[in-house]
Amino acid sequence: MKKKFVIAGNWKMFKTAEESRRFVSDLERDLPDVAGIEVVLFAPFTSLAAMKGMSGRIGIGAQNLFYEREGAFTGEISSVMLQGLADWVLIGHSERREIFGETDEMIRKKIPAALAVGLRPLLCVGETLAERDRGETVSKIEGQLAAALAGLEKGDIRRLAIAYEPVWAIGTGRNATPAQAEDVHRFIRGWLAAKLGDASGFPLLYGGSVKPENSGELLAQTDIDGVLVGGASLKVESFSAIINHSRDLLDK
Ligand code: PGA
């Protein structure tokens, strides 16, 4: 039994502003009225203004930011521009790393940029299938964490949440087994505890083909405090089923 879950949807490049608004009002109707479940929707930039102020119970997140405040960076969005539009921001999603060439160094710079304007970063880490097969899962995750958090004060690290998303499980229908996910989550919590002294309340989310059929078992793992849901967050029905499963696992 747990005290708190974060249930987050990553819409990726789906939903117009109008579709986003409709989703929020439909989801709001289905939301269980319980403290202890934090719901966040990571929406396209173009939906953020439309979603703003629609629900006091659904947090809004952006899917990316650029680390400079302003300048000649065509097509980019800064943290300052997101201020007041989003509560959270995804940083280092594997699609950003793989398709758009984001490096550990870029990801490291994005975190203080987000924190400086009060955005809460959800940092994503995860190994590829080849890395897992070579037995490099832990060293890959450790390398990504160390690179992303380098130079951050303990108090700043405590303002983050982290999502473990094995790249081979994203959009493939093939989720990590609850035991595989728990192994990596336990490692991350231990790594954070060594850095911070205590990481018992630090939100660690699992992502990668999470759906209503597997979310309950994943969320029941000791070190899994939430899920980051891609495909199954696009429909109110499946996303709210996942939220409801988390409610069943909360301390009464
Ligand atoms: P998926 O995506 O649930 O569709 O696998 C998860 C993610 O990319 O965050």
pLDDT digits (tens, 9 = 90+) for 55-83: 999 999 999 999 999 999 999 999 999 99
Percent of the chain with pLDDT over 90: 93
Q: Which domains does the chain have, with CATH numbers?
A: 5-251 (3.20.20.70)
What is the chain's mean pLDDT, rounded?
A: 96
Mean pLDDT of 5-19: 98
Of 229, 234, 239, the one to substitute when testing ligand 1's pocket (max ligand atoms within 8 A of C-beta) is 229
Q: How many CB atoms lie within 10 A of CB 133?
A: 11
The least confident of 41-50, 122-131, 170-179 is: 170-179
Q: Is 36 in the pocket of ligand 1 (CB under 6 A)?
A: no
Q: What are the two backbone dihedrals, phi and then psi, of residue 228, each rounded to the nearest 5 degrees?
A: -115, 115
**Mutation test residue for ligand 1: of 93, 206, 209, 234, the one with most atoms within 8 Å of CB:** 209
pLDDT for res 200: 95
Rounded Cα gap, residues 250 and 37, in angstroms = 9
Provide the annotated active-site residues: 93, 165
